[in-house]
Amino acid sequence: MALPSAFIMPILLCSLGPYLAAAHSPPEVDCVLFNEEYMTCTWGTRETLTANYSLYYWYENRSPVTECKHYLQDQGISFGCHFSQTEIIQFQPFHVLINASLGGRTLDITNKSMELQDRVKPEAPVNLTIRNMSSNQLQLSWTSPYPKAHCLEHTVKYKSNKDTSWTEHSVQGDVFSFPSVDYEKYYTFYVRSKINKYCGTTQLWSEWSIPVVWGSNSTSKGAVEEQLHWFWIHTVLIPIATCLILLVFVLLVRMERVWIILMPQIPNPSKNFDELFITHNGNFQEWAGVPKDIMESFKPNYSENVCYVSELSPKDSYESLWESSNHPPPLMPTAPADFCERSPYKNSYVGL
């Protein structure tokens, strides 16, 4: 039994509703050629897309229609296409087609043509350098990663620490002269680039460069670098060093072996002499094991006679000399033989 048309139409409208809505409000395709190295074409985000789209492209009179080889996806929803450098041809009309498919039907959503030389976005300038040209004049220079430097124009913006707004200057080339500076201030400079009118028609500026700072004394670039240096010390090095010290302390407390290795104790030498003073009563020869016959050989084994010598008193001697003045004085009497005794010491005499 065939269903009434009144029931079929609501079903078809519900199933085709998202695609019909997409057809009436197609997403806008935006292609950007980054530094002539690669290109992306995007047509929305996962939150704004109501269907999954496919992209096809071709160059006028150059190549057949080709589907995107590298889709950009977010949770299964395609929102863009990535083109490598070999797939990019400048100065040729570039056509893109966005469509959505339902079953066997294909709905063409967007068909757009563009010139890729007008969609180039250069990379931000690098190596910003400031030189003092005179007492009040500065010169700012930079380099650009874009391969065709002659196709670029630049904008320099700067502001001092006392200014409330930025000042911008357009520059043709890679040098900017700042005519007058105040040494009581410090200045911050940025540079960005875009393709000039001789190489394309575009409003796609590069990102702003990394800033460069100039000033005197503590407000100079060196001061900024010093602040960054101390920032890394306080936020990175000090916490890491503290953690390492705490870890080493825990290891030393928990591991007695590590403590003994790192902090060895000084040995007590008194224990090595206990036997000398306790067992041998301080006798070094016994403690050292010196043989007794060697010790006996050092003892004396000889003796000598002790002779006692006596003399006349002085009174008797003078009287004898007076009485016999014509005669030579008598010789000193010698001690009797029985007064000499043997002394145990060699050549020793005792006088009485």
Q: How confident is the model at residue 343 (pLDDT cuts 50, 70, 90)?
A: very low
pTM more than 0.95: no
Average pLDDT, the chain: 75
Residue 2's pLDDT is 45
CA distance 207 to 189: 14
Residue 272's pLDDT is 63
Identify whether the C-beta of residue 101 lies closer than 8 Å to the C-beta of residue 54.
Answer: yes
Residue 6's pLDDT is 44
Residue 248's pLDDT is 80
For residue 331, the surrounding DSSP H or E stretch is none
Q: How crowded is residue 122: how many other Cβ atoms within 10 Å of its Cβ?
A: 27
Using the predicted structure, report yes or no on whether residue 282 has a pLDDT greater than 60: yes
Using the predicted structure, report yes or no on whether residue 290 has a pLDDT greater than 60: yes
Q: Tell me what percent of the residues of the chain surpass a pLDDT of 90.
A: 28
CA distance 271 to 205: 87
Average pLDDT over residues 6-26: 45
Residue 78's pLDDT is 87
12-26, 167-181, 245-259: which has the highest mean pLDDT?
167-181
CA distance 27 to 275: 103
DSSP bridge partners of 93? 115
DSSP bridge partners of 59? 94
What are the CA-CA distances from residue 37 to residues 40, 148, 229, 247 (Å)? 11, 12, 35, 49
Average pLDDT over residues 167-188: 88
Using the predicted structure, report yes or no on whether residue 52 has a pLDDT greater than 60: yes
Residue 204's pLDDT is 93
Q: Which residue has the higher pLDDT, 154 or 179?
A: 154
Using the predicted structure, report yes or no on whether residue 242 has a pLDDT greater than 90: no
Using the predicted structure, report yes or no on whether residue 205 has a pLDDT greater than 80: yes
Tokens of 273: 């002499």
Using the predicted structure, report yes or no on whether residue 133 has a pLDDT greater than 70: yes
Average pLDDT over residues 199-216: 89
Q: Which residue has the higher pLDDT, 7 or 222?
A: 222
CA distance 215 to 178: 13
Q: How confident is the model at residue 47 (pLDDT cuts 50, 70, 90)?
A: confident
Using the predicted structure, report yes or no on whether residue 38 has a pLDDT greater than 80: yes
Q: How confident is the model at residue 7 (pLDDT cuts 50, 70, 90)?
A: very low
Residue 208's pLDDT is 95
- Grouping H, G, I as helix, E, B as strand and the rest as coil, residue 15 is helix
Average pLDDT over residues 141-146: 94
